[in-house]
Amino acid sequence: MASSSLQEIREKVETLEKELIVLRSVLEVLQDPVFILGPRKAFLKANTRGEEMLGYTWKELQEMVFLDLIDLEEISRVQDGFDVLKGHPEARLKTRVVTRWGEKIPVEMIGHSIGEVFLILLRDLREATRFEEACKKKSKELTEKIRERDQYARELQAMKDLYKEKIKEIEAMREEALLLSLVDDLTGIYNHRFFIRQLGLEIGRRKRYPAPLSLLMIDVDYFKNYNDTNGHLAGDQVLKATALLIQRAVRETDIVARYGGEEFAAILINAGKEKAMEIGERVRRSVAETHFPNEHLQPNGNFTVSVGVATFSPPFSSLEDLLREADNALYRAKRGGRNRIDG
């Protein structure tokens, strides 16, 4: 009977040794630090990756408990996590472990419980944290830059999923910065640089594929008088309002820009002379019929604009030709008494 009991014990020992060998092999294959803890959070087993992260040898870990490695500010949360594990097979939380050199490493702690034994896996979040901080810093810099240079800048959409959306959001920010570089700071419409570039592109298209193209040059009448009488802030407000009225008077396909000072321009796509004159008159009438503060103090008793119209056709052959003709038409409208259209 004694011999049989001794044989059973030997078999159990051999079985346990095999299980430990298998467990040790499984733990070593895992790339993340893994620990097996006893009821009091003492270390029963740690893989090599765990020893490397923490900087302690297995012999040193055997003299410690798991909570010895947790940042003091996080101990209460981690202890709560272990309490959760008593009633659930798995729990996750983010915390910080402290290495033997004092470095605090952000980790995701994944715990599994088997009775009074805990299997703890740590995922190193240092690289992810550095990347997140770098992206947040870049986002803040771009947001501040856009806010400072243009009151119409849109707020950047908060990054919902940093790991999946980082490339898409950075590209969106770049596109927005490019758009803002082509917008006039005061009026919110396109600026002179964009206008010249776009007009050159449209003229190039007409040379390859003939189609109507016209240009409006629009100048606020007696703007200096309005500015001097009412102040620069009031002058800025009427320029904003004028830009909005012009945009509403032209078609959706047309391109409106601030040419400079109190002068505006509109590129009329697929519009011949007759259509351009019609649109120009709509612009002139829209401004003249709108009430502006203190407009009765203007020399002509009203706040108005003059419009010059030019259509791209022979003998015009370049951007300069079209601009010159529109300027000449605008000059004629001014000389003819203002609040007029000429073309």
CATH code of the domain covering residue 113:
3.30.450.20
Is residue 136 scored above 50 in pLDDT?
yes
Q: Tens digits of per-residue pLDDT, 144-177?
A: 776 766 554 455 555 555 555 656 665 655 655 5
From the list 254, 224, 259, 252, the residue with the least C-alpha distance to 238 is 224
C-alpha closest to that of 110 among 87, 132, 78: 78
pLDDT of 98 above 70: yes
- Same domain flag for 120 and 133: no
Examine residue 313 and state whether it is found in any structural domain, yes or no.
Answer: yes
Tens-place pLDDT, residues 205-225: 888 888 899 999 999 999 999
| pLDDT for res 148 | 63
Residue that terminates a domain, selected from 81, 107, 124 = 124
Both 102 and 135 in a single domain? no
State how far the Cα of 13 lies from the Cα of 335, in Å rounded to an integer: 111
pLDDT at 202: 92
SS3 318: coil
Q: Highest mean pLDDT: which of 15-19, 185-189, 311-315?
A: 185-189
Segment among 13-22, 138-147, 228-237 with least mean pLDDT: 13-22
Instruction: Give pLDDT tens digits for 74-85.
Output: 999 988 888 888
**Low-confidence winner among 23-37, 59-73, 226-240 (lowest mean pLDDT):** 23-37
- Please report whether residue 118 resides in a domain: yes
pLDDT for 39: 79
Tell me which of 147 and 240 has the higher pLDDT: 240
What local confidence, expressed as pLDDT, does residue 318 receive?
87
Answer whether residue 101 shows pLDDT above 90.
yes
Q: Do 113 and 138 lie in a common domain?
A: no
Which of residues 77, 104, 124 is at a domain's end?
124
Q: Both ends of the chain: CA-CA distance in Å?
A: 122
Q: What was the pLDDT predicted at 1? A: 41
Please indicate, yes or no, whether residues 309 and 277 belong to a single structural domain of this protein: yes
Do 303 and 174 share a domain, yes or no?
no
User: In which domain, by residue range, is 79 found?
Assistant: 31-124
Identify which has the larger pLDDT, 136 or 97. Answer: 97
Same domain? For 222 and 245 the reply is yes
Residue 23 forms part of a structural domain: no
Write out the E strands in the chain: 34-37, 43-46, 90-98, 104-114, 117-124, 213-220, 255-260, 263-269, 305-311, 341-342
For residue 27, the one-letter residue type is: L
Number of structural domains the chain divides into: 3
87 and 204 share one domain: no
Q: Does residue 52 carry a pLDDT above 70?
A: yes
Question: Mean pLDDT: which of 10-14, 158-162, 262-266 is highest?
Answer: 262-266
The sign of the torsion formed by the CA atoms of 177, 179, 181, 185 equals negative
Q: Is 8 contained in some domain? A: no
Pairing of strands 341-342, 305-311: parallel
Q: Based on the fold, state whether residues 116 and 242 are members of the same structural domain.
A: no
For residues 275 and 40, what is the distance between their CA atoms, to the nearest angstrom? 87
Residue 229 falls inside a structural domain: yes
Flag whether 57 is in a domain.
yes
Clarify whether residues 139 and 244 are in a common domain. no
The closest alpha carbon to 203, from 326, 327, 321, 329, belongs to 321
pLDDT for residue 38: 84
Whether the pLDDT of residue 20 is over 60: the answer is no
Q: Which of 21-25, 254-258, 332-336 has the lowest mean pLDDT?
A: 21-25
Residue at 44 is within a domain: yes
Which residue would you say has higher pLDDT here, 122 or 1? Answer: 122
User: Domain ends where: 82, 97, 124?
Assistant: 124
**What average pLDDT does the chain have?**
83
Residue 18 is predicted with a pLDDT of 46
Instruction: Give the confidence band of 17 by pLDDT, cuts at 50, 70, 90.
Output: very low
- Buried b / exposed e along 121-160 (16+ C-beta atoms within 10 A): bbebbeeeeeeeeebeeebeebbeebeeebeebeebeebe
For this structure, is 263 an active site residue? no
Task: Provide the CATH number for the domain around residue 294.
Answer: 3.30.70.270
Q: Let me know whether 212 and 309 are in one domain.
A: yes
Which one of 85-89, 103-107, 306-310 scores highest in mean pLDDT?
A: 306-310
- Residues 311, 296, single domain; the answer is yes
Catalytic residue among 262, 278, 289, 295: 262
Looking at residue 153, what is its pLDDT? 44
Residues 251 and 332 in one domain: yes
Q: Within a domain: residue 16? A: no
CA–CA dist 156, 198 (Å, integer): 27
pLDDT at site 84: 85
